[in-house]
Amino acid sequence: MKREIIHFNSIDSTNDYAKSIALEKEEGTIVVAEQQLSGKGRMGRVWTSPSGKGIYFSIILKPELDPTKVARVTLIGAAAVHLALKDINICSQIKWPNDIVINGKKVCGILTEMNCELNKINYIIMGIGINVNLDEDDIPEELMDKATSLKIVSGEDINRNKLLDLVLNHFKRLYEPFKTNYILNETIKICRENSALIGKDIQVIQNDKFKIGKAIDINEDGELVVEFDTGIETIFSGEVSVRGLNGYV
Ligand code: BTN
């Protein structure tokens, strides 16, 4: 996988820009920005992206994959961020399937978007936002109990270039066997062993309906295994939102 990096001081959204160039660019092209003016989160939310304080980037991917399996790529991204944080001695958990949390608060989110036909992916844009050196007053008040930054938890300024490089290296190492042979074992192991959900009671929000169950595993296909009163079900990421019973995790 090549690594062309396109850098912006300021852009609306790295995901939107990556989408606009995805067809003509090679797999592995990365769009990174110092600031986003309309950073996008999942479910139409805003991703606060103050200048020079976070890591905001999107990777263009073109795996030969059934479109229903795209969530697996998000798990590779989550595992890569977790490993990169571990490299700089920051211990984090993966809140399946899109978030990285520390002490129950979110420090990183992943927004994976795709352009596909019935059984063929044209491209995937995996956008990752990491709250690196945000101070308390950079975090919107309504998110104070749910979000934090690496600087707030570690008490130190973190080198964003070094961290981005670590994330990209881990991502490449985990993605390549997946792309060529659909091998996902290491990613699943990392997501399982560092899960913020396994063993916890969670609410699963599916088609506007809430169900309470206990997260018991992440299976070999990267699906969350949940035990409900009615029996055990596996959950695809695209279709649900998962919350802890007492708040965010
Ligand atoms: C979420 O947790 O809701 C997902 C957040 C994803 C944010 C990143 S920042 C880089 C990329 N560009 C965007 O507009 N969003 C993603």
Q: Whose CA is nearest to atom 11 of ligand 1?
A: 127
Q: Which atom of ligand 1 is nearest to the CA of 98?
A: 2
Domain boundaries, the chain: 5-193, 201-244
Residue pair 198/119 in contact by the 8 Å Cβ criterion: no
Does residue 214 sit in helix, strand or coil? strand
Q: Which residues line ligand 1 (CB under 6 A)?
A: 13-15, 36, 39-42, 45, 47, 56-58, 98-99, 109-111, 127-129
Q: Which atom of ligand 1 is nearest to the CA of 43?
A: 3
pTM assigned to the model: 0.96
Substitution candidate for ligand 1 out of 7, 12, 15 with most atoms within 8 A of CB: 15
Q: Which atom of ligand 1 is nearest to the CA of 16?
A: 14
Cβ-proximal residues to 156 (8 Å cutoff; 6+ apart), any chain: none
Calpha distance 48→53 (Å, rounded): 10
For residue 230, how far is its CA from the centre of ligand 1 (angstroms)?
35
Calpha distance 39→50 (Å, rounded): 10
What CATH architecture does domain 5-193 belong to?
Answer: 2-Layer Sandwich (3.30)
The DSSP 8-state label assigned to residue 141 in this structure reads G
Calpha distance 71→73 (Å, rounded): 5
For residue 108, how far is its CA from the centre of ligand 1 (angstroms)?
9
Q: Please identify, in words, the CATH class of the domain defined by 201-244.
A: mainly beta
Nearest to 96 by CA among 173, 198, 1: 198
211 by Cβ neighbours in 10 Å (0-12 / 13-18 / 19+) ranks as middle
Q: Which atom of ligand 1 is nearest to the CA of 41?
A: 3
For residue 128, how far is its CA from the centre of ligand 1 (angstroms)?
5
Calpha distance 97→78 (Å, rounded): 7
Per-residue tens of pLDDT for the chain, all 249 residues? 778 999 999 999 999 999 999 999 999 999 999 999 999 999 899 999 999 999 999 999 999 998 888 889 999 999 999 999 999 999 999 999 999 999 999 999 999 999 998 889 999 999 999 999 999 999 999 999 999 999 999 999 999 999 999 999 999 999 999 999 999 999 999 999 999 999 999 988 877 778 889 999 999 999 999 999 999 999 986 556 677 666 666
